[in-house]
Structure 1
Amino acid sequence: MNQQTHLAIEAAIEAGKEILNVFNSDDFGVRLKSDDSPLTEADLKSHQVIDSYLKVTNIPVLSEEGDAIEYNQRSGWTQLWIVDPLDGTKEFVKRSGEFTVNIALVEKQKPIMGVVFAPYLGWLYWGDAAGAYKAELVNNWQTKDVDELIANMTGVLLPCQETEVCTVVASVSHFSKETETFVKALEEKEGTVNLVSRGSSLKMCLVAEGAAHLYPRLGPTMEWDTAAGQAVVEASGGQLFDWHTKAPMKYNRKDLLNGWFLTLARGLNAADYWLL
């Protein structure tokens, strides 16, 4: 893997250790941000770890838990890191293991590298110009040196699964009426549809694996929710399209709020799935 991918994986793993320390504690405080989304000590500790790793690159960082940066400052950036220190905080608070650390490197508005790490599950995904991979970290990985972990892990090239029945992955916490309508239209088209629920960026990773064919997100997200997952999907040969433009999602926009999007596994034609 290249140096930047290696660095992002290091950062994600070390952040994952901090997240699990909080997750495994008897109690952790939860407060609400201005948009009513939850914030925990784990979000903040993860941000601090990742920021300390990425700042050595001298590439600016746009993080959900970092300082707000006005577009007139960001607009001149040709490269940036986009980070969600803890994606799926709602799942974290419910003590579900389906939360992730997301780190993406974006160049000229395109995510060219992404790391998605699910620390509770020990699942590590990454994607760059060399392809997309998944590694499952060994038991007690939290106690091991990060360089040793990376040196000894084996990544499986994605996609690594084949699913015959049309499979759609959807959000655990954000299953909208529009998504339900989409699935019904897909059932009319395909006959049988298998619906799978997952939290955080694991939905995009399932598409990259080949375990799901489609992930329609017919509701709002932010750039840090999708950049890393999109990089992994695209490195696997899949696609993530903005529903409005019918083009790959772009990043470092003036408005960081994403519109609807559709994620497709390798080999699928998006034109066949604009069903709403």
Structure 2
Amino acid sequence: MINDKERMYLLPHLFNAAVRAGAAIMSIYKHRDDYDISLKSDRTPITVADRLAHRTIREYLGPTRIPILSEEGREMRYEERCNWELYWLVDPLDGTVEFIKGNNEFTVNIALMENNQCIGAVIYVPYFRKMYVAGRNSGSYLKEAVAPDADASYTYEEIVHDWTRLPLRREAHHDHLRVAVSRSHQTPETQQHIDRLRLQHPDLEVVEQGSSYKFCMLAEGSVDYYVRTTHTFEWDTAAGELILSEAGGTTRSLPGDSELKYNEVDLHNPWFVCRSKFCTL
């Protein structure tokens, strides 16, 4: 188990890797003709920004000598990774569809996993210059005005200076239930789930949002509930789940009401629902 000194050493690596990846993404984002869009084997899109962000993170985190399991890295057999005690779980560009659409709703997700449990996480939203940070049993925080920077080298002291503990009090209370759904990945089951909620909450408001930013909105308290009934992968949820958990929220499988598991043979997640700290459902 890593100690507090090691956590303080690794947090800047998490933070700076995400900021540098965000800079790589934004360098491509403003040049729509250079996206170089193709399809992966699962028919999901990938762009040059995904590849560049992955390479940036890999090169920056490499000196930690901690293995990396990344959406855009090489495919690793379960036998190769099943005994990892410590590893980085990375989605270099979460929300590629939103990136392609140009709606600004994309993130960089990096989770530090110990014995298949997330112990440290960042989600960076480069367009909005927001960084969400969490440590297991250490709280969840928002640091604003973090500009994309290809040479980011924040120290631990600079990271923790003027960040804000989550949830945000100004976002915490609504006069109606606010339910987040994926902007680009919805199914009839999503709508059926919302229809059931609407029976008890007729004034329910649906909030469409791309990428793992939904976890951050839950952690802030700006939305109350999030349902996902399409495929996601472990790298889509690990960082967001810790950020939400440390802000007092929960993530549970649907159906089953169990915790999500990591470093499984199949890296797909089950369907799931998330609740903010203030959700009474």
Mapping of residues 121-200 of structure 1, within 5 Å? 121-129=128-136, 130-137=138-145, 141-142=147-148, 146-147=152-153, 151=158, 154-160=162-168, 161-164=171-174, 165-200=176-211
| Alignment partners' CA distance in 2, 1:144 and 1:250 | 33
Normalising by structure 1, report the TM-score: 0.91
Q: 1:144 to 1:19 in 2, by over 3 A?
A: closer
Q: 1:117 to 1:30 in 2, by over 3 A?
A: same
Distance in 2 (CA, whole Å) between partners of 1:6 and 1:224 is 20
What is aligned with 1:45? 52
Contact 1:239 / 1:265 at 8 angstroms: preserved in 2?
yes
For residue 30 of structure 2, the aligned residue among 16, 24, 28 is 24
Deviations 1:164-196 (A, max 9, x none): 221111100012211111111111123321111
Structure 1 position 142, deviation (Å): 3.6
* Structure 2, unpaired ranges of 5+: 1-6
Asked whether the 8 Å contact 1:78–1:107 carries over to 2, the reply is yes
Residue by residue, what CA displacement relative to the aligned partner does 1:80-111 show, whole Å, maximum 9, x if unpaired? 11100000000111111000000001122221
| Change in 2 beyond 3 A, CA 1:99/1:149 | farther
Note if contact 2:19-2:150 (Cα within 8 Å) is conserved in structure 1: no
Q: Secondary structure at the match of 1:195?
A: strand
TM-score (norm 2): 0.90
Residue 68 of structure 1 and its aligned partner are, at CA, apart by 0.6
SS of alignment partner, residue 225 of structure 1:
helix
Q: Does the CA contact (< 8 Å) of 2:66 and 2:88 recur in 1?
A: yes
Given the alignment, which residue of 77, 82, 96 partners 2:84? 77
CA distance in 2, matches of 1:170, 1:86: 19
Given candidates 189, 196, 202, the residue that maps to 2:213 is: 202
Quick one: distance in 2 between partners of 1:131 and 1:2? 14
- Secondary structure of 1:120's partner? coil
Which among 7, 10, 17 is matched to residue 11 of structure 1? 17
8 Å contact 2:20–2:151 — kept in the other structure?
A: no
CA contact under 8 A between 1:239 and 1:248: conserved in structure 2?
A: no
- Tell me which amino acid in the other structure corresponds to 2:120: M
The whole-number CA distance in structure 2 between the counterparts of 1:255 and 1:125 is 28
* One-letter amino acid of the structure 2 residue matched with residue 79 of structure 1: L
Q: Distance in 2 between matches of 1:13 and 1:61?
A: 17
CA distance in 1, matches of 2:152, 2:181: 32
SS at match of 1:192: coil
The alpha-carbon deviation at position 244 of structure 1 amounts to: 3.8
Cα distance in 2 for residues equivalent to 1:2 and 1:191 = 47
Measured in 2, the distance between the counterparts of 1:148 and 1:108 equals 27
1:6-27 CA-to-partner distances (Å, cap 9, x unmatched) read: 2111000001111000111251
The one-letter code of the counterpart of 2:274 is T
Match of 1:65 among 62, 72, 80: 72
**Matches of 1:101 and 1:265 in 2, distance apart?**
21
Task: Point out where structure 1 has 5 or more consecutive residues left out of the alignment.
Answer: none
Encode CA deviations 1:1-50: one digit per residue, 9 max, x unaligned: 73222211100000111100011125121111111111111101100111
223, 248, 270: which one aligns with 1:259: 270
Structure 2 counterpart of 1:220, one-letter code: H
Change (3 A) 1:145 1:75: closer
Look up the SS of the partner of 2:33 in the other structure: coil
Deviations 1:222-260 (A, max 9, x none): 111111111111111111112244222111011001110
- Aligned residues, how many? 268
* Secondary structure, counterpart of 1:211 in structure 2: coil
CA contact (8 A) 2:53 2:93 kept: yes
CA distance in 2 between partners of 1:268 and 1:89 (Å): 29
Percent identical: 36
Letter matched to residue 142 of structure 2: K
